[in-house]
Amino acid sequence: MDIPENVLQNIVKQSVNVGDVYLVELNQSDGITPKGGEETRHKFFIVLGFDDEGNAYGGVIINSRINQKMDQIVKDYHMPIKCSKYAFLKYDSFVDCLQLKTAPLAKLSAGNYKGKMDKEDTELIIGTLKNSPREKAARLKKFGIQ
């Protein structure tokens, strides 16, 4: 028996929390540069907030490494996390706290829940994002990140 899409979306809306980690398929319109001629990439997305209607989620992504061609200021906003702490990671990685990404409800409902960041790391990620030179307070406020 297939579950209707609107029922699935309501379940996702009611069950998504700050700190939840989903593996989602993202593309250039989501601010992700696919590799090797692909149109999309699978990325871990950490939910940090919700818009007023609960239709879009603001969060950050996890990268396996930092692009060494980036300016130092960009590198400074990548928080290291250990695979020994988070079972969904295959290797030590970096949370990109430079700029908030958004994911519509449909992307999260199509993605796979992988786990949850602990409270301390979630607070550190939010604090780093709030101090980023590439993020605007109004945009953070839109997603309830203050």
pLDDT at 8 over 60: no
Three-class SS state of 80: strand
pLDDT in tens, 40-66: 889 999 999 988 777 788 999 999 888
Delimit the domains of the chain by residue range: 5-142
Q: Give the residue with greater pLDDT, 69 vs 91.
A: 91
Report pLDDT for 6. 67
> In which band, very low, low, confident or very high, does the pLDDT at 109 lie, cut at 50, 70 and 90?
confident
Q: What is the mean pLDDT of the chain?
A: 87
Dihedral of the alpha carbons of 88, 33, 30, 103, in degrees to the nearest 10:
0
- Cα three-residue angle 85-88-90, rounded to 5 degrees: 85
- Regarding the domain delimited by 5-142, which CATH topology (the fold level of the hierarchy) does it fall under? SH3 type barrels. (2.30.30)
Q: Give the residue with greater pLDDT, 67 vs 58.
A: 58
Across the range 110-132, mean pLDDT stands at 95
Share of the chain above pLDDT 70, in %: 91
Report pLDDT for 9. 60
Question: Across the beta sheet with 56-63, what order do the strands follow?
Answer: 78-81, 93-104, 56-63, 41-50, 20-26, 112-116
Q: Report CA-CA distances (Å) from 121 to 5, 11, 99.
A: 33, 26, 17
- Classify residue 37 as exposed, middle or buried by CB count within 10 Å of its CB (0-12, 13-18, 19+): exposed
Q: Give the residue with greater pLDDT, 92 vs 50.
A: 92
